[in-house]
Amino acid sequence: MCAVCGCGQAGLAGHDHVHGHTHDHGHHDHAVTDYGAGPAGLHVTGLSQARTIRIERDILAKNAAFAAVNRARLQRLGTLALNLVSSPGSGKTSLLVRTISDLGKHWPIAVIEGDQQTSHDAERIRATGVQAIQINTGKGCHLDAHMVGHAMDELDLSANGLLFIENVGNLVCPAAFDLGEAHKIVVLSTTEGEDKPLKYPDMFAAADLMLLNKCDLLPHLDFNVQACVEAARRVNPQMDILTLSARTGAGMAGFASWIAAHAPPPHHPG
C-alpha cells in the first residue's frame, strides 16, 4: 500500500469518488478523466484531501530520515549505490547480470532486489557469484528506505564497492522514495513507447541517467530513438542518456564508463 499514490487504499476498486461531476467516462474520442495537477491519489483514497496530504507528508518524512541514515552509511563505506527504476520488463535484471560480469572484477558488488513476490531475480543475481538480498513488497509498489536499510544489514557490504538496488517495476511510486542512493537510473526499453518520459515525467525528472535498453531490437520496431531522446530531454535536460543492449552487450562499455566516473577507485583496475 502506498498513501502517496493511494494505490492500496480501500475504495479504489469501488470507484467511489463523487459522481455528478462534469467529466465523462470515455465515451468521446478526446475524453480525459483528469484528477488534477496535484499529487496523484487525492481523489481516490476515500480520505479528505488534507488528511491524505498529511499522511503523504508523514510517510515521505519518515522515508527521508531512513534514506539519510542509509546515505551516511554508504558514504562511510565509500560505496556507490545506484537505484534502478523502470516499468516491468525493461530488462533491469538482465542488465545487472551483464554489468556484474563486466565490472565484478574491478569492484565488489552487492545487489538488493525488489519485487512484489518471488525471489527469482535475486537467484539470477546470486548465480553470477555476488551477494543479493530479495525484498518482497507484497502489495507495495516500491521499495522504501527502511526496507533497504534492513537489506543492507543483511549484506556484508565491502568498502569502496558498488551496491545496485533494483526497484519494483513501476514508473510512478519509486520516483517519490529516496532510498539513500547516489543516483536513480531509469531504464526504458525500445519495446515501450518513445513518449514514456512525457507520460511519467516524475521518474525521468528524478533520474540522473536514462538507459535505452534492447537497442538490438530496433531493426524490427518502429521505435524512434530521436523522438524518445527529445522527450526525455524535455523532462530532464541534464540527464545523461545511453543506448545499449544487455542481451548483445552493445553500448555496455558506455555504461561501464559512466559507472567508473561516479564510483570509488576500482579495487582491481582493468
Q: Is the CB of 122 or the CB of 175 nearer to Mg ion?
A: 122
Name the closest residue to Mg ion (Cβ): 93
**Using CB under 5 A, which of the segments 92-100, 134-142, 206-214, 261-269 binds Mg ion?**
92-100
Nearest-approach distance from CB 86 to Mg ion, in angstroms? 9
Closest CA to 203 of 179, 225, 235: 235
Q: Is the CB of 7 or the CB of 132 nearer to Mg ion?
A: 132
Contacts 24+ apart (CB under 8 A), 114-120: 114/142, 114/143, 114/147, 114/165, 114/166, 114/167, 114/168, 115/168, 115/169, 116/140, 116/141, 116/168
- Which helix (H) or strand (E) is 85 found in, with range? strand 80-86
Q: Taking CB under 5 A as the rule, does residue 131 contact Mg ion?
A: no
Count CB-CB contacts under 10 A for residue 179. 28
Q: Taking CB under 5 A as the rule, does residue 243 contact Mg ion?
A: no
The binding track of 49-88 with respect to Mg ion, each residue x by CB under 5 A or -, is: ----------------------------------------
| Whether the Cβ atoms of residue 173 and residue 7 lie closer than 8 Å to each other | yes
Among 93, 131, 134, 190, binds Mg ion (CB under 5 A): 93
| Whether the Cβ atoms of residue 74 and residue 81 lie closer than 8 Å to each other | yes
Q: Is the CB of 40 or the CB of 252 nearer to Mg ion?
A: 252
Residue with cell 467516462: 25
- Residues in the interface with Mg ion (CB under 5 A) total 3
Q: Is the CB of 164 or the CB of 177 nearer to Mg ion?
A: 164
Q: Is the CB of 155 or the CB of 260 nearer to Mg ion?
A: 155
Strand partners, 187: 86, 211
Count CB-CB contacts under 10 A for residue 225. 14
**Using CB under 5 A, which of the segments 120-128, 192-200, 217-225, 244-252 binds Mg ion?**
120-128
Q: Taking CB under 5 A as the rule, does residue 121 contact Mg ion?
A: yes
Which residues of the chain form contacts with Mg ion (CB under 5 A)? 92-93, 121
